[in-house]
Structure 1
């Protein structure tokens, strides 16, 4: 009986979490369709060169954006171009005049030696409807002669 109660409570909790996430996702998608909610975004850097790193290192890259409009800015989608990069980002609304961040981690073990160029695709409620792309480049050295 205790196990049945636990399973029911767990199922309700999971369903409510999925429902909240679904609702939040629909609200953010609605922002993309409502031009009265559009704002403008300015990136401090759209391309970063991390230099030379040896194979096996994890490279941390931070992109900073500023809300230069008069409505809250929402970073709706932040999607790295491949599985060698993971990204975390400001999920709360970014007030006008304030900054948000995208923190990316690039795992060189999941890439290859040589020159690399990786991108991160961003969707936001910005008035310039063109997709936002951020890029980082560098060189992965197969030996331990990388400059740190």
Structure 2
């Protein structure tokens, strides 16, 4: 029983030391968005496509790569910088909402962004009010 306890304690100490050395000073890539929500305000059903741009900065010390950006709905399409963003540099994520065939009114959609950063997932939101086209 003592051997098992001693081995467990040594394993925990070894893992703790290894993790501390790995984290020592280097924090990796880190994404920081200028804003995480964009409100399109009111727009007409006769012009149902609206677009915004989310700007982000790599505040880490390693190249930042966006692995995936997925919208909660097919009516919302994200486009993003595919190339690695170096530390201190900026990138853009463009989001287009297409309300064609959708009911007028308020909407709120999310875009899930996955990166190689310290925080692997960030959620962005777009919202607005599509008004019925005047006859």
When the two structures are superposed, what TM-score results if normalisation uses the length of structure 2?
0.75
Flag structure 1 segments of 5+ consecutive residues without an equivalent. 1-34
1:52 and 2:42 aligned:
yes
Give the count of matched residue pairs.
Answer: 111
Flag structure 2 segments of 5+ consecutive residues without an equivalent. 1-22
Structure with more of its chain in strand, by fraction: 2
CA distance in structure 2 between the partners assigned to 1:50 and 1:81 by the alignment: 17
Equivalent position SS for 1:72? coil
> Larger Rg: 1 or 2?
2
Aligned-pair Cα RMSD in Å: 2.1
Mapped contact 2:78–2:93 kept (Cα < 8 A): yes
Structure with more of its chain in helix, by fraction: 1
**In structure 2, what is the equivalent of residue 4 of structure 1?**
none
1:85 CA drift (Å): 1.1
Q: Indicate how the Cα distance of structure 1 residues 37 and 93 shifts in structure 2: closer, same or farther if over 3 A, else same.
A: farther
When the two structures are superposed, what TM-score results if normalisation uses the length of structure 1?
0.69
Instruction: Give runs of aligned pairs for residues 73-84 of structure 1, distance below 5 A.
Output: 73-84=64-75
